[in-house]
Amino acid sequence: MRWLMGLAVLVWLAAPASAAEQELELSVHGRTTLATLRTPAAMTPDTPLVVMTHGTLAHKDMEVIQGVAKALEQRGIASLAHTLSLGLDRRKGMYDCAVRHDYVVEDAVAEIGAWVARARGTSRLVVAFGHSRGGNQVARYLAASETPAVAGGVLLAPVTAKAEADLRASYAKTYGKPLEPVLELATKAVVAGRGGEWMDVPGFIYCPNAVVTARAFASFYGRDAGQDTAALVARLKLPVLVLSATKDTVVPDVAAAFASLAGSSGGRVQLDRIEDADHFFRDLFAEDVADRIAEFIKQTR
């Protein structure tokens, strides 16, 4: 019996270390934000770590984020996927359209920066990743500093200037009332220092009959240079990988928006197309994304 117990101990000691998954919390501007840290079995300070930002009104546990994160772990790459607070404390899951909206673009930039700082305590090589609108927010974060705290950026089907313009143009068709009068009221309120004033609007992002603050509405629908993700990337000095999907119907012009920049950047900006994938890179397409990211990381070392 004693020898059998000894054998069990030996087997346990010989078993390889397993990958780990840890839920984290971080306070940013008074709100608690949540993240999942996934690390491969052989995690060391030299293991690359990808900080992952989700798309519009989404969250860290959505399929595309989890799929890519798990595929990265299989390639020996850690990930830290966080959920943007969007003005709420400990937000989980998709944003509930019944909840009032009070958040602006700059909130996401600050939260990405805070999680990058946290990630740098785990890994010496950190890469910022963003999907869809998260891709634009990551580009804003990278462009906000002369010396970003990351080795590079990965933008997966990022929102483009045309996609933003199309969203504004389709407002009346989507919600039955024109955008301009509502946007004008919101903008005037912000200019007058009443950005926190609540407004009942025909629709906001994906939410019909929403209640939003003037600053939130103006931030999302107002035109600003930061909505041109390709222009933001053009200003950067660090390497950036842009991944487009050939069957993307949400942001169909990613390849067109970045083609010129990729061709003229001397290799700093890489543009890669993933054949037959749609905007959400489901199933095996997440493996394709992870392969591209792993190769990109090798080049940035």
* Domain ranges, ordered by start, for the chain: 18-160+228-300, 162-225
pLDDT value of residue 17: 52
pLDDT value of residue 6: 38
pLDDT value of residue 245: 98
pLDDT value of residue 7: 34
Task: Report CA-CA distances (Å) from 81 to 63, 112, 131, 221, 271.
Answer: 12, 10, 11, 27, 23
Which two tokens mark 183?
Answer: 């946007």
pLDDT value of residue 120: 95
Q: Is the pTM of this model over 0.85?
A: yes
CB of 222 within 8 A of CB of 231? Answer: no
The class that CATH gives domain 18-160+228-300 is alpha beta
pLDDT classification of 198: cutoffs 50, 70, 90 = very high
Q: Percentage of residues in the chain with pLDDT exceeding 90?
A: 91
CA triplet 97, 100, 104: central angle to 5 degrees?
Answer: 100
